[in-house]
Amino acid sequence: MSERILTPDLCVIGAGSGGLSVASGAVQMGASVVLIEAGEMGGDCLNTGCVPSKALLAAGKAAHHAAAGARFGVTAGPVAVDFAAAKDHVAAAIAAIAPHDSVERFEGLGVTVLKAFARFEGPDEVSADGTRIRARRFVIATGAKPAIPPIPGLAETPHLTSETIFGLREAPSRLLILGGGAIGLEMAQAHRRLGCEVTVIEADRALGREDPELAAIALDALRAEGIEIVEGARAASVGAGPAPSGGVRLAVEDGRSWTGSHLLVATGRAPDVSGLNLEAAGIAADRAGVKVDAGLRTTNRRVYAIGDAAAGLPAFTHSAGWQAGLVIRSALFRLPVTAETRAMPMAVYTDPELARVGPTEAEARATHGDRLEVIRVPFAGSDRAVAEGATAGLLKLLVVKGRPVGAGIVGAQAGELIGLWTLAIGAKMKLGAVAGMIAPYPTLGELSKRAAGQHFSPRLFESPMVRRVVRLLARLG
C-alpha cells in the first residue's frame, strides 16, 4: 500500500496550547493545515497542567474557606473532605474544556488531524503513520515533560510527577514534594487544604526565580497553613521507607531525611523533542530545546518552534499562545516578527497568589542602577482587602523616568491585577495614565492606581514650587 502524501501550507506538530492556536488561526485565515498529535489533544495544559492544577486548588480553597469562616462570624460543622470527589471536580473541569481542543472541532474548522508520532525525513518532509507531509512551513510545538533528576534510588522508587498526581483517588497521608517552584508549591497547598500532611524540599530557595521580598509573603502564608518548606536541602538519595509503614524515604546531603506515603517530583520540565529526528531536517537542538532566532525560526528556515519545545522562551501556556500569533504573521503573511518578552507576565496560583511582569527588583537594579525607583503599596492599605480579610500582600512597582519597567504582586487576585501592568509595560505607557485611571471603590484595582499616584506624591505635595504657585494664585483671587 503506497503512502499518502499531503502538501499543506502548514504542518503543526503538537496539539497543545501553541500548536492548537497556530492550527486554528491559520486554517481560519485560509491556509491548509495538517496537525499531528500522538497523545491527547490539548496537551499538558488541559490534561496534566494548568486546568487540573487550578481545579484541584479550587477544591482546596473551598475546604479552607469552609473551615476558616469563624473570623467572619460564620461557623459550620466539622469540614469533611472527599478526596475522590475533589478529583471528580478536576475531571469535570477537563471534560468541560476538552471539546474546544478536540479532533472533531479542529476537523470541523478544516484542519487535517493525524493521531500519530511525527518524524522528520528531510528538510521539507515529515512522516506520520504512513502519511508523508510535504508542507511549505512546519511548526514544532511538542511541549515539555517532567524533568527527573539523577538522584540515586529515584528511578527504582515509585514516585509521582505533574503528569500522574491527578490520577490519585485516595489522599496521600503524607506527601513529600521535591522542588519548591510553582508546581511544587501549588500542589503542596492544594493537598494540605484537602487534608494531607505535606513537606516541600527545595535544593536552593523556594520560589527562587521570584523577588525574595514578595516570595517571603507567599511562603509565610503556606507555612502558616502547616506546610513544611525546607530550603537549601539538596536531595542525596531516595528509597523505600522503613517497615512496616513503607512509603518513600528522601534523604538530603546534610544527613536529614523525611518519610512519606507518596513522593511528587516537581523539579522542572524538559523539552519533549525526542523522536522527531531533527537532524534529518537540519534543525539544531540541545537540552534547553530547539534553537530559534528572534523570529522563532529554527536553523531550518522552513521550520518554526514555539512553546516549551523552543529554547530560551518563557515556558507558560499564555506565552505559547502569543508565539502562535507571531508564527501566523510570519508564515502566512511574510511579516517580520520578534519574540520580545519584555512584557511577559507570570503567576503562581497559591493563596495568596504571586504574579510578576518584567524584571525583579534585583534584575532591574542591575540594569538601571540609581535611576530605578521602587514603589511599595501594602494590601493592608486597601479597604477591599481589609473588608475581605485579605491584607497579607504587597504590590511592588519598578519605575524608570516615569514609566513602569516591572511590577510584582503577592496577594489576593495577583494574577488578575498584573494584567494592568502587563498592558502598561507592553505599551510603554507613562505612570500618569494609570494614576489618572478611575477605579471603582472599593476594589483591589485601587492598589495599582495608588502605586502610580505614589510616584507623583512627592513631586506635588513636597514641592516648594507647587506651594509657591498655589499661594500666588490664592493672592490673585
pLDDT exceeds 90 at position 78 = no
For 414-458, the pLDDT digits (tens) are 999 999 999 999 999 999 999 999 999 999 999 999 999 999 987
Q: Which domains does the chain have, with CATH numbers?
A: 4-41+102-146+270-333 (3.50.50.60), 165-267 (3.50.50.60), 345-461 (3.30.390.30)
Average pLDDT for the chain: 96
Is 181 annotated in a binding site? The answer is yes
User: What dihedral angle (degrees, nearest 10) is formed by the CA atoms of 50, 215, 456, 417?
Assistant: 20
Pairing of strands 257-260, 285-286: unpaired
For 154-193, the pLDDT digits (tens) are 999 999 999 999 999 999 999 999 999 999 999 999 999 9
Is 308 annotated in a binding site? The answer is yes
- In 10 A of CB 443, how many CB atoms? 16
The cell for 71 is: 473570623
**8 Å CB contact between 394 and 332:** no
> Residue 470: pLDDT band by 50, 70, 90 thresholds?
confident
> Residue 3: pLDDT band by 50, 70, 90 thresholds?
confident
> Residue 469: pLDDT band by 50, 70, 90 thresholds?
confident
Is 182 annotated in a binding site? The answer is yes
**8 Å CB contact between 172 and 53:** no
For 271-283, the pLDDT digits (tens) are 999 999 999 999 9
pLDDT exceeds 80 at position 22 = yes
Is 289 annotated in a binding site? The answer is no
Quick one: how far is CA 230 from the chain centroid? 23
Query: So what's the pLDDT on residue 2?
Result: 64
Is 353 annotated in a binding site? The answer is no
3-state secondary structure of 207: coil
For 91-138, the pLDDT digits (tens) are 999 999 999 999 999 999 999 999 999 999 999 999 999 999 999 999
Maximum alpha-carbon separation in the chain: 98
Provide, rounded to the nearest whole percent, the portion of the chain with pLDDT above 70. Answer: 100
The continuous run of DSSP H or E covering 415 comes out as helix 414-426
Is 180 annotated in a binding site? The answer is yes
Query: So what's the pLDDT on residue 179?
Result: 98
